[in-house]
A = this chain, B = another copy of it.
Amino acid sequence: MNAQRLHALSLERQRQVDAVLDRFFSLAKNRAASFGAEYVKLWETLESNTVGGKRFRPRMVMAAYEALGGTDSEAAAYVGAAFELLHTALIVHDDVIDRDFSRRGIPNVSGSYRDIATTAGIPIPTAEHRGMSAAVIAGDLALFNAYRLIDRSGVADGTRSRLLEIMDDALFASAAGELIDVDFSITTKMPKVQDVLAMERLKTAVYSFECPLQAGAVLAGADESIVEVLGAFGREIGVAYQIVDDLLGVFGVETETGKTTIGDLREGKRTVLIAHATTTPQWAGIRHLVGKPDLSLDEATVVRAALEVSGSRAFTEALARVHAGRALTSLERPVLPERLRVELTPVADDVLSRVK
């Protein structure tokens, strides 16, 4: 299968997942209509916070499923859409926890509701509180319906139970990671590299990579040994992805990533990059800048230079390569069919290619 064919497949999968989500939101909005226009608006806001993504997690589900011989792509699209809704729920609530009102430069649920309120003349603290309240509610709806979409996929009993277990694992891990992240953010103490890695794996990698891949395999009725290898691949590539994400948050190109390269520094986000830097002599020169809410562009340049000189950037890039390399190695396990290797190797390559 060549790259062009893989790309076409990927778009087709995205289309199928979008169709499931469209239907889901249409039904919800119709149902909400009898509760009043305000409730329809909440569903619309939730929808606009769900659409437009790259459908990354659903594509993991469907790639594993189809590469393992699954043919009911409708069922796989449901399971994929379930993971997309789980993702929406988690980021909507993560933004509540972080008191963020936008994501990638666009107002999120809290931001949309805050803006409606301020436009109506409501003072900012009250408007922000309304925004966050709406986001708590919207996230609950998304979370609950993530579960529900798995149930609605129409798969047989035993498979459904396994899929629900996997989604349960996803949330269980993510909640644990979010809790650790909250604790990171309230102390001035800097965590160790290993602690940041563990947190990032739990908070994001498990539900974004491990679990979607495993769900696709279970749905295809694959052998437990394959499910296990996919877990290992997902774990390593997921961690690599998070490490690269941390790098791009400081050294990326905003027009490519859609992510500012100053936000993480201003927030003082505990990343692998920063955790490593704290162990180097250069830290003394930048510690007052990392987490400075009004960090200037010039100051950010100083921080970036120090992160280069300290070797923190090189260390972090190397770490991403190690994990991506382990992911690729796991794909060589003989138990995996060739087609799965063909589907997943580009996923690992993509992650690596983002490390310049």
A residues with CB within 8 A of B: 31-32, 35-36, 38-39, 42, 89, 93, 96-97, 99, 117, 122, 126-127, 129-130, 132-134, 136-137, 139-141, 143-145, 147-148, 151, 157, 161, 164, 168, 171-173, 175-176, 178-180, 182-183, 186-187, 202
Number of copies: 2
CB–CB B133/A39 < 8 A = no
Separation of A121 and B117 alpha carbons in the complex (Å): 36
Minimum CB–CB distance from A301 to chain B (whole Å) comes to 30
For chain A, what secondary structure do more than half of its interface residues adopt (helix, strand, loop), or is it mixed? Answer: helix
- Contact A144 B168, CB 8 Å, known A35-B176, A38-B180, A179-B134: yes
Contact present for B96 and A136 (CB under 8 Å): yes
Interface pairs (12), CB distance under 8 Å: A32-B172, A42-B179, A97-B133, A97-B136, A129-B186, A137-B178, A140-B140, A140-B143, A140-B171, A143-B144, A144-B144, A144-B168
Residues of B within 8 A of A137 (CB): 93, 97, 175, 178-179, 182
Partner of A186, one of B39, B126, B173, B175: B126
Interface centre among A89, A139, A172 (most CB of B within 10 A): A172
CA distance A202 to B36 in the complex (A): 12
Query: CA separation between A182 and B128, bound complex, in Å?
Result: 12
Shortest CB-to-CB span from A113 to chain B, Å, is: 9
- Cβ-neighbour of A168 out of B39, B117, B148, B182 (below 8 A): B148
Chain B proximity of A45: nearest CB distance (Å): 11
Kindly identify which residue among B147, B176, B178 contacts A36, using a CB–CB cutoff of 8 Å.
B176
Find out whether the CB atom of A93 lies under 8 angstroms from the CB atom of B39.
Answer: no
CB distance from A51 to the nearest CB of B (A): 20
Given contacts A130-B183, A148-B164, 7 further A-B contacts (CB under 8 A): A32-B176, A35-B173, A39-B176, A97-B132, A122-B186, A133-B178, A140-B171
